[in-house]
Amino acid sequence: MKFVSRSADACNRPPYGPRTQAIVVDPFCADSQGIDTIHALLRAPVSILILGSARYEGEFDPLSGVHGRPRLSKQRTPVKRSLSSIAKSTLARSALAEAQFMEGVRARMTLDSIGDAVISTDVAGNITYLNTVAESLTGWSKEEACGQPLRKILHIIDGVSRETAPDPLAMAIRRNEATGLSANSVLIRRDGYESAIEDTATPIHDGKGATIGAVIVFRDVSVARAMSLRMSYLAQHDFLTELPNRMLLNDRLTQAMSAALRHNTSLAVLFVDVDHFKPINDAQGHAIGDALLKSISHRLVACVRTTDTVSRHGGDEFVVLLSEVTRKEDAAVSAEKILTALRIPHRVLETDLQITASVGISVFPDNGTDADTLIRNADTALLHAKESGRDRHAFFEPGARSRKNRASRNPYAECE
C-alpha cells in the first residue's frame, strides 16, 4: 500500500464515529494483494477510500469508501490532477456532506425536544416528517404517517360547527404565506380523543424560492382555553349560586329591551328579597345561610322559562328578568308562583327552614326605558311590598319613595 492519511481534525471527532476520515492507497504497490486489499479496506472504519496509482500516470477516481464500489483506472492519459489535490477535494466534499447530515440530525433532535407538534409535507400534501409531540397528539407514529396524505393523519374540525376545518398546509402553499386555523379548532386524535389546538402553517421553499412543501406547528391549548372560559364565566356569574351577576343581567336586560322595541312587546323585572334572612343567617351560621341561598336560587330558576334570567343581586337579593310579557298581570302570576315555591320548607344540611319572600315588579317601557331605571323601580316596589306586610308582591307606582330615600331619612332602618 502507498500510504494512509488522516484529516487534521480526526482527534476531535465524536467517539461514536470513525476516527479515520480517509485512506489513500495504491493497490499496485508490492505489498498489495490486489482486489482483496480493496475489499479489506472497504470493511475498515473510514469515511472515504481513494484509490490511485503511483506507478502509472492516470486519472484518479475518488470513491466513497463504505458504500461505493471501487474502480481502478490504468488508462495512460496525461495527469489531470495530483493525488493530493484529489484527496483534498474529496475530503472537502465529504466534510460538507457530513456537516449537512449533522445539521439535519441536530434539527430533528431539536424538533423532538420542543413542546410543540411539528408536521411537514411535500407540495402534494403527503407527510414527510412529524416529531414526537405530533405523534402523541395525532396518535400516529412516524413510520405509519410518513407518505400518508395529511388529511388522513391530521383531522381538524371546527369546535362550534363540528365541520371539517380547511387544510392549513394547503392554504399556506396556495397563498405562499403563513396562515392559521380559526380560534375554535379541535384536533381529533386517532382514537377519537379531542384536543383544542392553535397552529401556524408556513410554506417551505428551496434555494431558488420555489415552494416544495409546508410545515405546521401546533400545540394543545385545551387547558388554557378551559381556564379562559372559566375565568370569563366567573366574571359574569355569582361565585356562590353560579347565577348571572349584575353585569350579565344588565347585558341581557339591554338586549331584551331592544327585542321588545322591535316586536312591540313588554318585559318585566322582578326584585326578590328574602324576608328576615339576616336573623336566620346569624342564628344558624353562614354555612346554613349559604346553603339556603343555593336552594332559593334553584327554586327561582325552576319557576321561570329558559328564556328568562335569574340573577343574584347581592346578599339575599335576586333579580328576575321576564324577557317577554303580554300584560303586566303576567308578571304578577310569575311573582305569585315564586312566592309559593319559596314558602315550601327548604331542607338545608339536615335542617328544615321555613322562609317567605317579597317581590317588587317594574314593567318596560312604562316604568323605565333603561336597565338601571327598571331595576331601581323594581327595588322601590319591593319596599312597598315589605311595608305592606311581606310575603307578597307589589308593582312600582310613580312617586313612591325608594329604599335609598327611606334609608337616608332613617339610617337605622333595614328592609329585611
Reported confidence tier of residue 74, pLDDT bands at 50, 70, 90: very low
For the cut 60, the answer to whether the pLDDT of residue 59 exceeds it is no
Q: What is the pLDDT of residues 220-236, one digit of tens each?
A: 998 888 888 889 898 99
Could you tell me the CATH number of the domain that includes residue 266? 3.30.70.270
CB contact at 8 A, 184 and 159: yes
Q: Is residue 57 part of a domain?
A: yes
* Residues in contact with 289: Cβ distance below 8 Å, sequence separation at least 6, in sequence order: 277, 280, 281
Is the alpha carbon torsion for 405, 409, 411, 414 positive or negative?
negative
Least confident of 5-14, 89-98, 139-148, 320-329: 5-14
DSSP alpha helix (H) spans, 45-128? 83-113
Angle 50-56-60 from CA coordinates, rounded to 5°: 30
Same domain for 159 and 258: no
Domain containing 22 equals 10-111
- Joined together, the cell numbers standing for residue 188 give 381529533
- pLDDT class of 90 with cuts at 50, 70, 90: low
The Cα 50–Cα 37 span in angstroms is: 13
Cell numbers linked to 6 = 488522516
Task: Please provide the average confidence, as pLDDT, over all residues in the chain.
Answer: 80
> Is residue 109 packed enough to be buried (19+ CB in 10 Å), middle (13-18) or exposed (0-12)?
exposed
Instruction: Quote the cell numbers at residue 390.
Output: 311581606
Q: Are residues 284 and 360 in the same domain?
A: yes
Of the residues 111, 138, 165, the one at which a domain ends: 111
**pLDDT of 30 strictly over 70:** no
pLDDT at 255 over 90: yes
- 101 plus 123 within the same structural domain: no
Give the count of domains, the chain.
3
Decide if pLDDT at 285 tops 60. Answer: yes
Instruction: Please tell me the distance from the alpha carbon of residue 209 to that of residue 216, in angstroms, as a whole number.
Output: 19
The answer to the question of residue 2 being in a domain is: no
pLDDT for position 378: 97
Span 187-221, pLDDT tens digits: 999 999 999 998 889 999 988 889 999 999 999 99
391 closest CA partner among 319, 341, 351: 341
Domain C-terminal end among 64, 81, 111: 111
C-alpha to C-alpha distance for 275 and 148, rounded to whole angstroms: 70
CA dihedral 180, 186, 187, 188 (to 10 degrees): -150
Last residue of a domain, one of 225, 255, 270: 225
Q: Domain for residue 46, yes or no?
A: yes
Given a cut of 70, is residue 119 above it in pLDDT? yes
Quick one: 127 and 79 in the same domain? no
Mean pLDDT in residue range 294-303 = 97
Which residues are part of the catalytic machinery?
316
pLDDT for the residue 2: 39
Separation between Cα atoms, residue 19 and residue 263, nearest integer Å: 87
CA distance 25 to 12: 24
Residues 350 and 357: beta-carbon distance below 8 Å:
no
Element (H, E) at 226: helix 222-236
Question: Does residue 303 share a domain with residue 281?
Answer: yes
302 belongs to a structural domain: yes
Claim to verify: residue 123 and residue 40 sit in the same structural domain: no
User: Same domain, yes or no, for 276 and 403?
Assistant: yes
Domain match, 97 and 164 both: no
State residue 7's pLDDT score.
38
381-416, pLDDT tens digit by residue? 999 999 999 999 999 998 766 655 544 434 334 445
Tell me which of 32-36, 64-68, 98-102 is least confident.
64-68
Model confidence pLDDT, tens digit, residues 39-56: 666 666 555 555 555 444
Q: What is the model's pLDDT at position 416?
A: 52
Cβ proximity of 248 and 256 under 8 Å: no
Question: Tens of pLDDT along 136-153?
Answer: 999 999 999 999 999 899
CATH of the domain at 165: 3.30.450.20
Which residues fall within 8 angstroms of residue 232, CB to CB, at 6 or more apart?
none
pTM of the model: 0.60
CB atoms within 10 A of CB 114: 13
Q: Please indicate, yes or no, whether residues 295 and 217 belong to a single structural domain of this protein.
A: no
Assess contact for 288 and 355: CB atoms under 8 A.
no
248 plus 220 within the same structural domain:
no
Confidence band, pLDDT 50/70/90 cuts, at residue 61: very low
Q: Residue 266 has what pLDDT? A: 96
Per-residue pLDDT, 295:
96
What distance in Å separates the CA atoms of residue 327 and residue 305, rounded to the nearest whole number? 16
**Is residue 232 assigned to a domain?**
no
- Domain assignment present for residue 3? The answer is no
Using CA atoms, how far apart are residues 407 and 413, in angstroms rounded to an integer? 6
Looking at the fold, whether 169 and 41 belong to one and the same domain comes out as no
Smallest CA-to-CA distance from 269 within 356, 381, 355 is with 381
Asked if residue 82 and residue 206 are part of one domain, the reply reads: no
Residue 128 lies in a domain: yes
Provide the 8-state DSSP code for 244.
B
> Does any domain span residue 58?
yes
Confidence of residue 69 (pLDDT cuts 50, 70, 90): very low
Phi first, then psi: what are they for 154, rounded to 5°? -105, 95
